[in-house]
Structure formats: structure tokens, C-alpha cells
Amino acid sequence: MRIFPVRGGVHLEYRKELTSEKAIVALPLPKILLIPVQQHMGAPAITMVKVGDSVGKGQVVARGQGLVSAPVHAPTSGKVVEIEYITAPHPSGLPQITIVLEPDGLDQWAQLPDPIADPFAATPAAIRERVAASGIVGMGGATFPSAVKLGLGARNKLDTLLLNGAECEPYLTCDDRLMREHAEEVLDGARIMAHALGTAQIIVAIEGNKPEALASMTKAAAGFANISVATVPVQYPMGAERHLTLAVTGRETPARKLTADVGVVVHNVATAKAVHHAVRFGRPLVSRVVTVSGHAVAEAKNVEVPLGTKVADLLAFCGGLSSPPARVISGGPMMGQPLPSLEVPVVKGTSGILALTAWESNEAPAQPCIRCGNCVNVCPCGLVPVEMAAFVRNEKLENAAQIGLMDCVSCGGCSYICPSHIPLVHYFNYAKGRLNAMDRDRRKRDLVKTLVEARGARLEKQAQARKEAAAAAAAAAAAAQAANPDANRPNP
Ligand code: SF4
Ligand code: SF4
């Protein structure tokens, strides 16, 4: 299959060998599960249980609200012992309402929806409804509700489902293992999603450093004429949606547009497996595979983890920490987030838990820029990070936006390559957050202004209507008086 060149990118030390040969193992049920009601992009789900309730595995404990949201299900059977605010590894970094569940050890399923016997005879809407009801979100880390993405065919002309198995972040091998060990399930989920999207072809894209995954997915795809498996270059951030789309289709996604605007919808391989389970067995998303790695972990592993498991419990299952970590990250080292504590739970978007030593973290004090231009060369979005950073440092956020700040995909390639250790991507994340907040405030102010103006106009119209009604009544009374001058004369 033809692969098209993509701009920029970096070649990293991948360190995947720490876990790539470790088959997925299941974590025994922990003593307590912390289940945040927001594990996805969009509106938080609304709690449906109260303290003291007993729940079955897979029971809805929080329902989605609005167009972009996702329900949350109990990862096992047990009792709700607390509902409180707890810091969760969500991009907002804010405490989330969290349902604290004490497992009863029975791991008993609640009443689940019936399997969809023949998904390819079901309507696309029925598939989307099942995916939405199962709480499935983008499991590559984006956590966007998958059912919403499956509805993009309503406004875009789509022809390709691109199954993302690139897994370009260092250390992470959970997708690699999933493709090696569960290729048929992953591919079945992809075929069901393609049916829901109405796309004729499926492309499975895998970086060339995963030969076993390439072999197992190619074997599983044999016999399906509409599925091709593409080997893409080992080049970070190959797994970014728009870059992967460019690499396998040659189609460039315009800035601030979606790949759907060029006919392609991208889903992660773990998402596809979750869809398979939801449709074929009626099982919602209650667990995921997490890579636990880094040289500060005693035994690096790939673990199937019930959602809500505390990071501390997961690390304990991996033999605990072998040395004090310089950083513990949720996700990969390039785009992941540092964890505020080990007491936070594993959530739907947690692809990895990395405990990194100081030498792995490669942290050093920032030095002045030497104008080497490395950051410009590696930026996959064609931006000039050094100039954007200068604007951000001087609080000239609008200027940074004018030269493309909002097109930055936060891949961290520029920070990685910078010989002066300038934390460029931190500047950009901070600035994008500020600009988004300013934009939200501006829209809120505009809305309030519009509402105030509309209210003023409405009151004015009502006053005018009252005035006109009074004038009409007076005119009618005068006309009646003129027609019958004796009507109001008192009787003698
Ligand atoms: S973090 Fe942003 S600016 Fe830096 S290389 Fe990635 S896309 Fe370019
Ligand atoms: S890579 Fe670092 S030192 Fe080089 S130009 Fe960019 S910001 Fe400056």
C-alpha cells in the first residue's frame, strides 16, 4: 500500500521492549474502586446511584447528558459507599464527582442489553445507540464519545474508516498487545463501526516497529476485500489523526478541520474492541488494557484493569516501585499528564501508567534559546514554535494565535528536540487554555448582551402593544359615545 510522506516528526527512544513481550494479564479485583462521572470529553454524566445502593457489574451508575457525553457503568458488582469530589486524571485537572464502590467479590453482571445478533443487518442508528449506551469513548487518550464520531456521516461524505494502531508514544504497548492477542475482535469492531459510518473501506495503520501486530491483523483481515493493513513509518507523532490520514490516503486535513472533512474517520484499536463487546455481547466499557512501565516500576506489564482502580493498587500488582520515580505519568511521556498522586483512578483514557526515573525523564533547567531551528524542523504542523513561545512568554497570546498556535496538536516534539530544554509545549498548552477560556468568556458576554437586548426589545414591544391597546380602547369608547350620546347620561 502506498504511504505518503508527512512533514516533521521526531525519532524517539521508544523503550517499548520493557513490555512488548508481556502478554496481557488481568488485575484481581481491588478492594475499592473510584469511578469519576466524567471520564470523557463533553458534559459530565449525572449520578444515578446513592450511597448504600448495591449495583451489578455493567449497571449504569451515571447517565450521559446532552449531545457530547457518555454514561459510566459499574466495573464490578458491589456497594456504593461514598459519593464525593476526588481529583481524577482528566484534562481539566479539577476534582470530579466520584462514586466510590466497594466490590463484593462476586463480579456479577447486571441485566445487560441483548446482543445484536447480526450487526450488519442492524441500522447504523441502532449501532450508534448501542455504542453510546455502552459508554465507549476514544481509548487512545482523546476520550471523545465514539457514538458522536460514528454519526459524522450525517454531515460529511465519508469513504474510509482508519483504524489507528500506530501507537507512536514511547513505552506504550497496550494497543500492540491487543492487536496481537485479540485481532479478530478488534477487526470485528472495526467492521461494525464501518457499517455504522457507511464507509466502504477500512485501513488498519500500524507502525513498522510492531511486526507481530502487523502479522496478526493481516491474518485477521484476510478474506475481507475492503480491509487493508498499512505499515506506516516509525515517526512520532504518526498516531495523530491528521498525520495518519495524510500518511495512508495522501489527503491533507485543513487547519481547524476534522479528518471527516476529507472523508476519513479515525478510531483507535481498543475502541474497536470495546465496540465488538458492546454489540456482540451487550457489555459496556468497564475495563481497559493499561501499559505499566518505566524503570522505576519493579515489573513492567500490560494489565487488563477494572476502571476506577487506584494507580497505587495497579503499581502494587506490578511489584511496586523499585526506586523513587522522578515523574509518574498517565499516558505516554510525550502527551501524557503527570499524576498529582497515586490515589487517582485508572479511567477510560488511561493507556499507560509510567513511573520514570530521573534519567528517563530527561528533565533539565531551561537555557536561553540558541536559535538552532530544530523545533521548526520537527513540527508536524508546519509551525514556528520558537516564535510562538516568544509571543506567549510576553503574554501576546493573540499574536501567537495569528501564527498558528491553535493548530498546534500538543505533540511535544519541539520540546523533546530543543537542546535548551525549553518546555515549549507547556507554553502552548497554557496559552491555548487561556485563549479558549477568553473565547468562552467572550461568547458568554455576547450571549448575555444578546439576551439583554432581546429582553429590552420584548419589553418595549409589550409597552407599545399596551399603549396601542389603550389608545384603541379609548378610540372605541369615544366612538361609542359619539354614536349614543345619551348612553352615559344618568337617569333623572
Ligand atoms: S507541540 Fe505543537 S508546536 Fe510543538 S511540534 Fe508539536 S504541533 Fe508543533
Ligand atoms: S529548538 Fe529550542 S533552542 Fe532551538 S530554536 Fe527552538 S526553542 Fe530555540
Q: Which of 246, 374, 428 to mutate to test the pocket of ligand 1 (most atoms within 8 A of CB)?
A: 428
388 in the same domain as 239: no
User: 105 in a domain, yes or no?
Assistant: yes
pLDDT digits (tens, 9 = 90+) for 127-170: 999 999 999 999 987 889 999 999 998 889 999 999 999 999 99
Domain boundary (287, 318, 338) is at 287
Show contacts of 146-154: CB within 8 Å, 24+ apart. 146/193, 146/267, 146/271, 146/274, 146/275, 148/67, 148/68, 149/265, 149/267, 150/124, 150/193, 150/196, 150/197, 150/265, 152/197, 152/258, 152/260, 152/265, 153/124, 153/197, 153/198, 153/199
Domain stop point among 266, 287, 308: 287
> Tell me: the pLDDT tens digits for 449-465?
888 989 999 999 999 99
Give the pLDDT mean for 358-368. Answer: 88
Statement to judge: residues 224 and 118 lie in one domain:
yes
Q: 492: pLDDT confidence band, cut at 50, 70 and 90?
A: very low
Cα 361–363–364 angle (5° rounding)? 160
pLDDT at 447: 86
Question: For position 368, what pLDDT does the model report?
Answer: 94
Kindly report the CATH number assigned to the domain that includes residue 471.
1.10.1060
Kindly state whether residues 274 and 394 are assigned to the same domain: no
Give every CB contact of residue 232 below 8 A, 6+ residues apart in sequence: 3, 166, 205, 206, 207, 208, 238, 244, 247, 248
Contact 297, 157 (CB under 8 A): no
Q: Is residue 349 part of a domain?
A: no
Residue 370 Cβ inside 6 Å of ligand 2? The answer reads yes
Cα of 367 from ligand 2 centre, angstroms:
10
Question: How many angstroms does the Cα of residue 391 sit away from the middle of ligand 2?
Answer: 14
pLDDT at 491: 53
- Shortest-distance atom of ligand 1 to CA 425: 1
CA distances from 366 to 148, 384, 396, 420 (A): 41, 19, 21, 6
Examine residue 453 and state whether it is found in any structural domain, yes or no.
yes
Closest CA to 88 of 292, 378, 311: 311
Q: 276 lies in a domain?
A: yes
The parent domain of residue 374 ranges over: 366-480
The verdict on residue 292 lying in a domain is: no
Residue 347 in any domain: the answer is: no
Are 276 and 380 found together in one domain? no
416 CA → ligand 2 middle, Å: 10
How many structural domains comprise the chain? 2
Give the distance (Å) from ligand 2 centre to CA of residue 393.
Answer: 14
Is the overall model pTM greater than 0.85, yes or no? Answer: yes
Q: What is the CATH number of the domain that holds 40?
A: 3.40.50.11540
* Residue 45 and residue 132 in one domain: yes
